[in-house]
Amino acid sequence: MKTLIAIISCKAHSGYRAAIRETWFPKVSKDKADAFFFMGREAEVTEQDEIVLDSCGDDYGSLPSKVQSIIRWALEKGYTNLVKIDNDVVLKVSEFFHSGFEQWDFAGHTNNDRASVKVPWGFCYTLSRKSMEIMANAPLPHDFNDEAWCANTLSQHGILLHHEPRYVLHRGKRSDFIVPTKRPLRAPPRTLPMEEETSRDAIATCIFLHHFGYHATPDDVNIKEYHKMFKETQ
Does residue 100 come out as left (phi exceeding 0), alpha (psi in the -120 to 50 range) or beta?
Answer: left
Whole-number percent of the chain with pLDDT over 90: 67
Separate counts of helices (H) and strands (E) for the chain: 6, 10
Question: Could you give the CA distance from residue 153 to residue 156 in angstroms, rounded to a whole number?
Answer: 5
pLDDT (mean) for 159-168: 96
How do the domains of the chain map onto residue ranges? 3-233
**pLDDT tens per residue across span 181-214:** 444 444 444 444 444 444 668 999 998 755 444 5
* pLDDT at residue 177, rounded to an integer: 43
Strands (E), 41-105: 50-53, 81-86, 89-91
> At 107, which helix (H) or strand (E)?
strand 106-110
3-233 maps to CATH 3.40.50.150 = no
SS3 content of the chain, % helix, strand, coil (to 5): 30, 20, 50
**pLDDT tens per residue across span 16-63:** 999 999 999 999 999 999 999 999 999 999 999 999 999 999 988 899
The pTM (predicted TM-score) of the whole model is 0.87
